[in-house]
Amino acid sequence: MMAVEIYTKVTCGFCMRAKMLLDHKQVNYTEIKIDNDAQLREQMIQRSQGAFTVPQIFIHDHHVGGCDELYALHAQNKLDTLLQGEV
């Protein structure tokens, strides 16, 4: 079971790109929309140890970072390994 969580905002282009890659790889994920929700935004900032931009992506509770970091993992052929739970 893949435990992927992604904090997003509706109008965020980087969020859309990150979700596109996950969808392309047929990854099931939980989207946590932080639009107008201060509690969820604060939760995201705390979990990511200070990151306040979206998206913030977690795979098996491992903080990946944002869209650029997700695509970098994909380009380095490390994303599939991480998705399989091999951190």
- Each residue's pLDDT tens digit, 24-41: 999 999 999 999 999 999
Which tokens belong to 6?
């992604």
Return the DSSP state at 11: T
Q: How many domains does the chain have?
A: 1
The predicted model scores a pTM of 0.94
CATH number of the domain to which 56 belongs: 3.40.30.10
Q: How many CB atoms lie within 10 A of CB 43?
A: 14
Phi and psi dihedrals of 67, rounded to 5? Answer: -60, -45
Read off the pLDDT band of 1 (50, 70, 90). very low
- Asked if 17 and 26 touch (Cβ cutoff 8 Å), the reply is no
Residue-number span of the structural domain to which 72 is assigned: 4-83
